[in-house]
Amino acid sequence: MAKVLQLLNMLCELHHMFRNIFIGGLAKDTTIDTFVKYFGKYGDLTGSVIMNDRQTGRSRGFGFVTYADPSVFDTVIAETHVISGKQVEEDDEMNECFKKG
């Protein structure tokens, strides 16, 4: 159990370093272009990814965005987001972990 917690803490630190924001609840038909266009309106993105199933190639319904400016974090997680007709959510615990430094 201690190794799992250590691994989670390391993951948290890595995500914070890269200013990732976890976005969950994506519609299965949300494209990377739609995702980038939507979240790009908050600031310059240095990275974005929608996680796909390795076997099927289909969206797993979540992704991450990374901003050049870490101050964008608070703005993005404070708002309600609807993409492809579906309200998406940020995982507060995960994003709070990412926010810490």
Contacts of 19 (CB under 8 A, 6+ apart): 46, 66, 67, 68, 70, 73, 98
Which residue range is the domain that position 61 belongs to?
2-99
Amino acid at 48: S
Residue 87: CATH number of its domain = 3.30.70.330
Name the residue type at position 53. D
pLDDT tens track, the chain, 101 positions = 677 677 666 666 655 555 678 899 999 999 999 999 999 999 999 999 999 999 998 999 999 998 888 888 888 888 999 999 999 987 644 555 545 54
**How many structural domains is the chain composed of?**
1
Q: Is 44 left (phi over 0), alpha (psi -120 to 50) or beta?
A: beta
Q: Would you say the pTM of this structure is higher than 0.75?
A: no
Structure tokens at 99: 């926010």
Question: Could you tell me if 79 and 39 are in contact, meaning their C-beta atoms sit under 8 angstroms apart?
Answer: no
The three state secondary structure string of 3-56 is HHHHHHHHHHHHHHHCCEEEEECCCCCCCHHHHHHHHHCCCCEEEEEEEECCCC
Residues 68, 66, 43: CA angle, nearest 5 degrees: 50
Given this model, what pLDDT does residue 37 score?
97
